[in-house]
Amino acid sequence: MSTREAAPSSDDTPSIHNSRTHSKSKWSIRSCVAHFKAKCRVSKPKLLENNHNTASNTSDNDDHHDGALALSKLIRQDFDFMEEEIAKVKNYVDHVDGQIIQACQNFKELQTRGSRERELREVKKAVAKLKSQIPSQLRIHSADSNPHRKSWPDINESSGEMYMELKSERTKNAGPLLQAFNDLSYIKQNMVLCFFLFPPKVVIKRRVIIFLGISELVNEEDANKDFEYLIGMGFIEPVYQKCSLVPDSCRMPLSVLSALSDITKKYVNTSKYNTGEITEFHRGYISSLVNVDNAIIDGKLLEKGTDFNTLYLGRWQSSATHHIEVADNKVLHGLKNMKRLRFLSLRGISMIKELPTFISELKSLKILDLKACHNLEVVPDGIGSLFRLTHLDMSECYFLENMPKSLAKLSRLEVLKGFFIGDSNNNKRSCTLEDLSKLQKLRKLNIYTGVKDFPEEGQLIALQKLEALQNLTISWGGCSSPDGSNGIPEPRKLSNKQDLSLPSRLQKLDLQCFHGTSPPSWLRLSNMK
């Protein structure tokens, strides 16, 4: 199957060189085989001759002798089987190891002579495929997926004295904070309590808290208003990152954490699961589960049969180094009976190749986060049955090339990310911009394309039909010139019709990796608000 190239991500740029030179920090496939062979290298058992000689004197021991011979034969067969399988594994290791060495050499050559972004994307795609071939038992010991890693920064580790001062301060102010909390509406209280689903003192993306708010039958606009209100009241501390004028992250002040700790014990439960922890929140009609720091998710997690409103199984941390994967695709079968599920996050989970077809039965689902599910190849056409869906994120799903036609049926969809536009001649079954033009509530659209002439006239006309569209991102992947060379192609010139422009209500435009050497004719900044 062909794969489309990965657009660069600020938090996802692994280095082949580092992964091979720091061998002490993680296991290689070759070292695993050597370790396994060493365990298997034991002497073959003898035929227990002494027992045989003794047993021959008495007929009562004949049965024991026969049993010993049978067991010895079985053990010998087991060792023969293991030797054969180890030989197969060794051949596989040699094959993959050769590919890794070649990819590493290619990367070093690119670094030496200077590399274009398109070439680095090709290497990134090759590395992703190689990494997926490493067994999960090894990957959980790697530097980027250590289950015992420190998953979040301790904002107070530099000053114990400061922490003691804060502890004294928050104890003194507990009374007013409790009164202020009790005066909040039920939904605002739940938004505050959401912070206790995560480890204390961590920085959390604003998006995570907003989505948890939306899952309580609140729209995004109201959830943002509640978020700002809680900042004003001092329950949430905004965090400004990368010189941003708008806080995209947040955390809870220590004083609030301390004052509300007794209240949260009634609603929040933390328990061990696999190599890490999960947290659950139950209050009234709201029930949520968050994967705090587990690297491997298996079917046991969803065996309880609880009908959750929110399942955050994926990566909530900002860094892409927090690797998560499923044991197999059957893990998702536990979702089948969650008819009240409104928010499902599988963000950053590897080894999910396709979504189960019964996803169409989750009629309450409002938010589906599939970002960075790097092995995802198929989203079932039944997704169009999720008539309540308002947010769908498929960005960084680099193997996903077919956009279900039924996306056009999601009449309530407001945010769509990772919409892939390929060569229409090769994939006529995929959803098009013309199909999406029916979505009159769509206000945010992120497009990834490998087509050098995008957008063509028909596609611009389709974009204009999206009357509610306010935020548009277009990312171009690596394209080749018509002659097959790697030169930068010049996009096809469009006609000079005055109506060939972007939607009139567009407020934000982000063009990434545009191939042209001059601004396109449809880029008219005078139309931007």
Per-residue pLDDT reduced to its tens digit, 383-412: 999 999 999 999 999 888 889 999 999 999
**Is the per-residue pLDDT at 37 higher than 60?**
no
Alpha carbon 164 to chain centroid, angstroms: 37
* Cβ proximity of 123 and 109 under 8 Å: no
- 485 occurs within a structural domain: no
Does one domain contain both 466 and 452? yes
Is beta strand 343-345 parallel, antiparallel or unpaired with respect to 349-350? unpaired
Task: Please state the domain count of the chain.
Answer: 2
Does one domain contain both 290 and 250? no
Q: How many C-beta atoms lie closer than 10 Å to residue 181's C-beta?
A: 18
State the pLDDT confidence band at 58, using cuts at 50, 70 and 90.
Answer: low
Q: Residue 197 sits in which domain range?
A: 170-285
Domain containing residue 454: CATH number: 3.80.10.10
Does one domain contain both 471 and 517? yes
Out of 285, 317, 337, a domain closes at 285
Domain containing residue 230: CATH number: 1.10.10.10
- 90 occurs within a structural domain: no
Convert the pLDDT of each residue in 191-240 to its tens digit.
999 999 999 889 999 999 999 888 777 788 899 999 999 999 999 999 88
- 357 occurs within a structural domain: yes
Out of 255, 270, 285, a domain closes at 285
- 456 occurs within a structural domain: yes
- 33 occurs within a structural domain: no
Out of 285, 318, 352, a domain closes at 285
pLDDT at res. 15: 39
- Structure token pair of residue 385: 């049955």
Residue 384 to residue 405: CA distance in whole angstroms: 8
Does one domain contain both 251 and 337? no
Does one domain contain both 273 and 317? no
**Is the per-residue pLDDT at 27 higher than 70?**
no
Does one domain contain both 340 and 403? yes
- 175 occurs within a structural domain: yes
Give me the DSSP letters along 458-507: HHHHHHHT-TT--EEEEEE-----TTS--SPPPPPPPP--TT-S--TT--
Convert the pLDDT of each residue in 489-524 to its tens digit.
444 554 444 556 778 788 899 988 887 778 877 877
Portion of the chain with pLDDT greater than 90, in percent: 36
Convert the pLDDT of each residue in 95-139 to its tens digit.
888 888 888 888 888 878 776 666 776 777 777 667 666 654 444
- 66 occurs within a structural domain: no
Per-residue CA distances from 325 to 144, 280, 380, 472 (Å): 13, 20, 21, 31
**Is the per-residue pLDDT at 43 higher than 60?**
no
Convert the pLDDT of each residue in 6-22 to its tens digit.
444 444 444 334 433 33
- 61 occurs within a structural domain: no
Across the range 56-66, mean pLDDT stands at 56
Does one domain contain both 193 and 213? yes
Does one domain contain both 186 and 176? yes
**Is the per-residue pLDDT at 61 higher than 80?**
no
Does one domain contain both 221 and 340? no
Does one domain contain both 188 and 297? no
pLDDT at res. 369: 97
Does one domain contain both 280 and 301? no
State the pLDDT confidence band at 413, using cuts at 50, 70 and 90.
Answer: very high
* Cβ proximity of 353 and 1 under 8 Å: no
pLDDT at res. 203: 92
Does one domain contain both 324 and 269? no
